[in-house]
Structure 1
């Protein structure tokens, strides 16, 4: 026996718990194709086989230190086990495998026998459920019938109605549709979409060169054309639901993972355990020849390591080098990957292009030439927003929506401050000037009021606390003066001076020690601005960039595609839980500029979608004083959307900090418009990244941020960066542990639960 390298570990196991089916689908690859080994196998997996199988999976997980394992209950039809035996199976899997790693259990079913009793059981053991449906009644009835010819459509729809119930919705993983080109493609798509699935999978009928796929004379379209038609309609609809096939093509087009065995060059890490305990390869191979999936091993005689190292699985992990010469030379090979392994079979060999080669190429070229347009966010749909803010590759559109919501909130806060102003004072003058500028130069008002610390001031001012209280309502004049400078509109206003400083948000700070705490007059003029007060006058030229004895302009961190304020002067930046630096020396500010530019290049390279999000929402970076421990630290503040505070660090660390903290900022903005946590059910949860139990909202924050950090380190681990794999695993483990703990509480609203499930679906799908 040879040692198995870590990369050859198996992470997904298909468990054939019942080898018979209550339907007689004529396209079934288990019963209707070349391999007929089901005839010699017992109908049900015995307790002895189950125990041995669970033991082998647990042994494999422990040996490879796998952080999670997927087990898919399959058949035949797994629900034929009945609720009692199904409970035994689930309990054994959780007891044995769950003791050494996180266990994700799924099930693929035709849905005929699904009942409330089954759903309650599956919910108890946290089992995700995929249901097979080929479209509307006519489309489904072409193949999915009982042995007596009766339709199974009504029973399938009854199962889907159960899974749509709030109590069971989290169990539903999606619909699996086998393509029949006799069916209208758009009609099938619409029928599937009408069931409100969380995901749709389209499966090409299993076939090979010896037994080609059916192409009926009455069909007027190819398989590629059929899938093109659905793709076009899906894009026109704004991609309302994930479709694995199309998502895979869009992901691989940018070098991302395939996420499906049908396409791409992702390594295969799946094995099947039959009812008699035999180890097999994927079921699709049953369409090639009798015995094609066999390995000659059983769970009683062979560990999973030997299955993973077997020549049968090795040839399916060979990637591009294992493809036919024609495939290796093909311009779409990185996306196609030669197609499904079983579809390459001809005359005893699998070294041919897919029997669907022409169809796949037609679809891939079409998708390349017709990329989906940016999806317009349905601002009335909470589910749509949650789905977009949990997209692992980032979603600029969602950030723009959050920015719009923040704009509305800040405007409402400013009106709230203005509601009780005494007439005729400096604050009233400031408000009048701001409203007039909003009419004349709305872009300038929008830029200034989008500054994170304008909202901080407004909230503190209304609450009568902190720096917002010290500056008071007269700070409306400072905001208006800043907008006037931005717009180049002449204006004169009285504004507050506090601690010797007159601050104009986003513009800069005038030093007025002669005034101390009081007021001064700001005169915005064509050539710059003048400040007068208490026998002092300060003139500042337009565009003056460097510090003077009186003037400290707000610096900017500039790259080719983003500009962020280096905020070391705004008095309201002290809202962060960590202390901010004072005014940076020029050399220090210059160093920040270089570090930020390099960090931005790293973000753009590693997680370009996150760079787009940051470009849409990041407004200011606040330098923090380094603590005595000397470690890198960062912070966001609840009321300061778009503001991130961080200690000076290296570019790679700053890249992670920016992504991490902006996740918190996004979550804060989301919480402004969506209730994610049930305030009537206070809950504390123990998490891996803190020693103290945390409230549910804080845990949700941590999950959201740490998932993004884990993703960065996952990418760095793929690039073999030193220490990246261990860091990735630590953040991933923290995230999954917290998801599991929070999911066991009743602390989340339905929207919060949806967000949690979306993150869980992403993170648990990553490799260990």
Structure 2
């Protein structure tokens, strides 16, 4: 069966085709392709309008919920402010209302000033900057044409992005590796700039133009250089994301990579030049003159036509598209053959990467440091999951928990979900289940697809209901899970799935509303799409107008309004949101996220690492705010959309405290569960020790939230009043918890941590 190519979700839009630096490693001007010479310097209004229209029609046709557009060059800031204003306006106007625009600019930083930062703040444009390290490292390549250093101007630009008013615009740094530079010095120089992320790129090279390998540097100098950086990054506690390292760690764990240069995920990126021509990835400019060309442009061709271009297909064919040598390599699923352009030699891309030895050494080196490659167990294996280190427990005890700590909780929760699903199947009375057997097979061959489905919060919620004997928790959900995993794996497997009340549901993907009378559907998941054959022979799929996809908002969070298992919260859930309601949610969640990143970063880091799902609840008739976290739904919080981003931010961080503590309690004993006494705190009805513990833990974040608002330049009378109120109640409740006599030794550590968290707030005087 042949499926159409997957839709394109990432676009590099060239707004200017010249540069104010003369970097000698630049693939645009210094490598094989010379197409830049004949292109307009700046993109025109007509091209911008047509680009926006093409992206908009593509998003609508494929039901995309998000696209990323990177404004690029040359040096994009040479285009001038009005080009950015027009580009942002046209793109947002062209996209469907349910499709989020992630708009970014990548610049050398030389021209970035306050005026540009204010413009990008207004337009919602995040900024990435190229910087190769300290001045000595940066000056090796990134200089003006007359030889002057660009380093002081770049540091000034990064300094602007580090200011509190612009910090939310700071997307990260891009560093091209030069093995002649000291890796420790480069790492220190970048780390001092407190980037949210760093991308280390291998310099573009091919078999016909190999990379520099200094004499005496060994057989794998690029791997050695990156491993030296990794050692310092790990020692510092991974202070920022590094896409290269994160991609390897993910692929070693069976998850998709994060980079075109690593892993076997299909590439879904298109470049749009200043004259409106479509090109493949810019890296192909290093292969030969004209290598990235498609012969297509925005005036005559759609993005579906571009997606079908043979060059695009070659970069989307996964394992099948690699050379025989690559397919036989033990690290191929992490390496993915390396960047496509780096395989070029003797007129063909059917070769390993010119960095083959370095990539293998890097992957094996990182695997050794991580304790080897993870081999996911089949679903039938009972897993208890990894434990928490003493340092991670210490973080959690004071109410916090950074990215890695919350990710450890998530891994533990996924293991528990797997155990519960195995128990569901074992207690089903079905000796052989086609759905379960497919899940076991996919878990052995495509573990990332299975993990993605099993990690959805309401999978475990269903398993818990099923194991408790709830008659409404039908066994057909196993078939839904198998179908969703099969669609994600894209191997062409088929699964018969029950249709309940006229609805076919695929967890993590969405639902197909088929109407009454349909009893079941055969779901077939192949690369590039899926189909569902129903009782009457009709065929539907993701392009069917009856398909309602699970929509996502900023930071990849699912806005879950279709899963039939989501009704596990104390309050009734909303039905499918209209397009306008979805946009309200998306906008307010983004504002709330920015508020938390700015005002409560110590809580926000863990929140974004663990929060996967927000479930809309129905509003109360009396207008009071409503929110909930379900113990059996790790990663999800449920909220009735409040009036304002401030309240939404507070509810998010409050409920995620319950999520974190619930995950700890699944592994650790913090109190005597046999204690039947009731404790009165926070002005609420008397409650047992477990509920008191949860209330204290949640209100550590509430106190910090209002304390920051009251003391950080937002000291409105309302903020000061709420801070004083919650500080006093939390102080009393911590004492009550600590003196309860019901805590285990670890529980006492958590009570001591709560006291250490609250005490600094008590020392702040009002006024």
For 1:232 and 1:716, the matched residues in 2 are separated by 44
- Matching residue of 1:154: 152
The alignment covers a number of residue pairs equal to 507
Alignment of 1:596-607 (within 5 A): none
Contact kept, 8 Å, 2:223 with 2:361, in 1: the verdict is: yes
Q: What SS does the aligned partner of 2:401 have?
A: helix
For 1:44 and 1:757, the matched residues in 2 are separated by 42
CA displacement at 1:97 relative to structure 2: 2.8
Aligned equivalent of 1:594, options 427, 436, 440: 427
1:742 aligned onto 2:589 = yes
**Mean Cα deviation higher: 167-176 or 94-103:** 94-103
Contact kept, 8 Å, 2:510 with 2:548, in 1: the verdict is: no
TM-score after normalising by structure 2: 0.58
Contact kept, 8 Å, 2:338 with 2:352, in 1: the verdict is: yes
For 2:138 and 2:160, the matched residues in 1 are separated by 19
Greater RCO structure (CA 8 Å; 6+ sep): 2
For 1:174 and 1:249, the matched residues in 2 are separated by 19
- Matching residue of 1:473: none
- Residues 229 and 302 of structure 1: CA distance in aligned 2, closer, same or farther (over 3 Å): same
Aligned equivalent of 1:66, options 46, 53, 64: 64
For 2:39 and 2:121, the matched residues in 1 are separated by 30
Contact kept, 8 Å, 1:106 with 1:129, in 2: the verdict is: yes
1:129 aligned onto 2:127 = yes
For 1:260 and 1:371, the matched residues in 2 are separated by 20
1:394 aligned onto 2:410 = yes
- Matching residue of 1:667: none
For 1:173 and 1:65, the matched residues in 2 are separated by 27
For 1:318 and 1:563, the matched residues in 2 are separated by 33
Structure 1 segments unaligned to the other structure (5+ residues): 401-557, 565-589, 625-631, 635-643, 658-707
Alignment of 1:304-703 (within 5 A): 304-371=303-370, 376-377=391-392, 379=394, 385-388=401-404, 391=407, 394-396=410-412, 594=427, 649-650=473-474
Q: What SS does the aligned partner of 2:241 have?
A: coil
Structure 2 segments unaligned to the other structure (5+ residues): 373-387, 482-505, 512-522, 533-539, 561-581, 614-767
CA displacement at 1:219 relative to structure 2: 4.8
- Residues 316 and 743 of structure 1: CA distance in aligned 2, closer, same or farther (over 3 Å): closer
1:303 aligned onto 2:283 = no
Aligned equivalent of 2:48, options 42, 47, 50: 50
CA-to-partner distance for each residue in 1:294-341, whole Å, 9 max, x for gaps? 111111111111111111211111211111111111111111111100
Decide which structure has the larger Cα Rg and report it. 1
CA displacement at 1:650 relative to structure 2: 3.3
Q: What SS does the aligned partner of 2:33 have?
A: coil
- Matching residue of 1:16: 14
For 2:455 and 2:612, the matched residues in 1 are separated by 21
CA displacement at 1:204 relative to structure 2: 0.2
For 2:143 and 2:222, the matched residues in 1 are separated by 23
Contact kept, 8 Å, 1:739 with 1:760, in 2: the verdict is: no
CA-to-partner distance for each residue in 1:387-434, whole Å, 9 max, x for gaps? 3476599255xx99xxxxxxxxxxxxxxxxxxxxxxxxxxxxxxxxxx
Contact kept, 8 Å, 1:110 with 1:133, in 2: the verdict is: yes
- Residues 76 and 355 of structure 1: CA distance in aligned 2, closer, same or farther (over 3 Å): same
- Residues 758 and 380 of structure 1: CA distance in aligned 2, closer, same or farther (over 3 Å): closer
Q: What SS does the aligned partner of 2:346 have?
A: coil
Q: What SS does the aligned partner of 1:63 have?
A: helix
CA displacement at 1:379 relative to structure 2: 4.8
CA displacement at 1:227 relative to structure 2: 1.4
CA displacement at 1:711 relative to structure 2: 8.0
For 1:372 and 1:388, the matched residues in 2 are separated by 16
C-alpha RMSD of the superposition: 4.6
CA-to-partner distance for each residue in 1:3-23, whole Å, 9 max, x for gaps? 995543211111000111111
Alignment of 1:240-279 (within 5 A): 240-279=239-278
CA displacement at 1:234 relative to structure 2: 2.4
For 1:391 and 1:122, the matched residues in 2 are separated by 32
- Residues 595 and 131 of structure 1: CA distance in aligned 2, closer, same or farther (over 3 Å): farther
Contact kept, 8 Å, 1:170 with 1:757, in 2: the verdict is: no
- Residues 300 and 756 of structure 1: CA distance in aligned 2, closer, same or farther (over 3 Å): farther
CA displacement at 1:206 relative to structure 2: 0.2
Alignment of 1:703-718 (within 5 A): 710=508
For 2:171 and 2:469, the matched residues in 1 are separated by 39
For 1:74 and 1:57, the matched residues in 2 are separated by 16
For 2:593 and 2:264, the matched residues in 1 are separated by 41
- Residues 94 and 362 of structure 1: CA distance in aligned 2, closer, same or farther (over 3 Å): same
